[in-house]
Amino acid sequence: MLGGIGCRAYVIYGNGDIPVALAESLDGAESATLAPRRVEIEGSTFGFVHGALYSPFMMPAEMDDRAYGGKLRELGPVDVLCTHIPPRLEEAVFDVVAGRPVEGSETLLHYLEENRPAFHYHGHVHQPAQRELHLGGTTVINVAYYKREGYVHLHPWNSTSRSC
């Protein structure tokens, strides 16, 4: 699916994924790879945090918020943060089709308030009430549910950038 996109794709696993199976499915892919913890892209430090918080299904990539916070502390400050789950903010966790909030991370919210990356990209909320919000100096963007709406969010690179 990611073969013809024309640029490098960093894939993050979330609550419904089996990390080992996802890594195996990407093995040998030319333009897609399981996201490393940190990567420099066009002069910006991108940080990636895999996983999600526990659900009733207890999937392999799920953990409690304390363990998730440990991943964020290990990551340290970045310019752009990419996660599967949103911060625990009402505006970020409400799913309009389900008519209820999904789980957001309190430790992620604290990370954003403390480290203030310029951007935070997340998914998990498939039909978000709000695609974008601002938290201090951070623009929080839900990139989820591209299939239904045909929406793909592109990072606002500077005018000399060749990235997609």
**68-82 residue pLDDT tens:** 999 999 999 999 999
Is position 43 within any domain?
yes
Is the pLDDT at 147 greater than 90? The verdict is no
Count of structural domains within the chain: 1
Enclosing domain of residue 88: 9-149
The predicted-structure confidence for 15-69, as pLDDT tens digits, reads as follows 989 999 999 999 888 889 999 999 999 999 999 999 999 988 889 999 999 999 9
- Does residue 36 lie in a domain region? yes
The CATH number of whichever domain residue 31 belongs to comes to: 3.60.21.10
pLDDT in tens, 91-146: 999 888 888 989 999 999 999 999 999 999 999 988 888 889 999 999 999 988 66
Asked if the structure places residue 1 within a domain, the reply is no
H or E stretch covering 138? strand 138-142
pLDDT at residue 159 is higher than 50: no
102 lies in a domain?
yes
